[in-house]
Amino acid sequence: MILETLHLLFFKNYDEANLRFSPHINCFIGDNGSGKTNLLDAIHYLALTKSAFTAADAQSIKQGEEFFVVRGRFCTPPDDTRDTIQCSLRQGQKKAVTRNKQTYDRISDHIGRFPVVLISPYDTDLIRQGSEERRKYFDSLISQLNHDYLELLMAYNYILRQRNALLKQAADRQSYDRDYLLALDEQLVPAGEQLVQLRQQFLADFTPIFQRHYQQLADSRETVTLDYKSQLPGADFAHLLRTAERKDLVLQRTTIGPHKDDFVFLMDEGSVKNFGSQGQQKSYAIALKLAQFEILAERKQHKPLLLLDDIFDRLDEKRITRLLQLVADRTFGQVFLTDTHLDRTDRVLANLSEQISRFRVEKGTVTAL
């Protein structure tokens, strides 16, 4: 899969930009704060209809403007189908996503069509931060692979919001409709149980791929694995909800269910967060992303876009060398990377035969070199 062109209008620090890309390697060169990462984020928007770095879509509108537009043209194998995707948002309105000028009935229908993998120095936040970050990561990955999972996740979260609203209302009014609560539970239980089952199935397929990439990347003897921590397997979800009802009423939120689960990162049966060195944590995080790339490429039958953000500044030579070996071996398809120094980028990529396009980024302007 190739992204051929990119057009931006009032996106983050850009007034306007029009870019045409190499099908192989594309380098964005500029000082920190110039807008290099914003270009990667625009590509992320086209693939997943959201930012990789900011939670609120409105934060992507250039300061002082009323809207933003991101548009790109993809070419997808095996028949080189071309699709123009546009994401746009106007202040105070809903985000719009179109494919070949046709608006999606539901934005979720777009997810998974154009897979993307982002590798950045902040990937170790998956290890260091709380369970919510890990759930979001795996939910996003599984959703790109399985549209039914995405639909189920959205349905579960909708029922969960209704249940939590009822619990809060109960605290405010000192009473609640228990029949309604039980009716919500009847809907929540099958959706939650199926989510847990699909997560378990995915992890069984994903873990061996991840372990292989870690061993190749780290060249070390420690054993790494992924564990899924949930209260549901082997338990009656409906009974757990009833048991926790009083606690839920006090806390005004649902305390049991897959929205509380965690993906536990282990090394030699110990926590990577607590016992892994900085280098081991970096290898662990990159191995996750390489496994993500492989499983997406295998199941989608075309290679995702690969976005590499500031890896030359933040990763050591051994890990960069391994990534570039994969680029040289054509493991990856189209690659977009950012760096602060053109001479370093040229030196690192000197031995690659692929077509390379370079762009100079300066304070929200982009120029092809």
Give the residue ranges of the annotated binding site for ATP. 30-37
Q: CB-based contacts of 106: which residues, under 8 Å, 6+ apart?
A: none
Query: Can you list the alpha helix ranges (DSSP code H) found in 174-256?
Result: 178-218, 237-243, 245-251
- From the list 104, 114, 100, 143, the residue with the least C-alpha distance to 47 is 114
For the chain, state the CA radius of gyration: 22
In this structure, what are the phi and psi dihedrals at residue 368, rounded to the nearest 5 degrees?
-70, 135
Q: At what angle do helices 278-300 and 131-145 cross, to 10 degrees?
A: 20
Calpha distance 354→341 (Å, rounded): 20
CB 360 within 8 A of CB 369: yes
Take residue 223 and report the two structure tokens written for it.
Answer: 């054993």
Tokens of 110: 């777009």
Question: What is the crossing angle of helices 278-300 and 178-218, to 10°?
Answer: 110
> Pairing state of beta strands 116-119 and 305-308?
parallel
Please calculate the CA angle 331-128-224 and round it to the nearest 5 degrees: 55
- Compute the half-sphere exposure of residue 64: CA atoms within 13 Å on the CB side of its CA: 3
User: Mind giving me the DSSP string for 344-355?
Assistant: HHHHHTTT--S-
Quick check: 21 and 334 in contact, CB under 8 A? yes
Q: From CA 126, how far away is CA 122, in angstroms rounded? A: 8
Name the DSSP class of 61: B
Chain centroid, CA 71 distance in Å: 19
Annotated binding site: 30-37
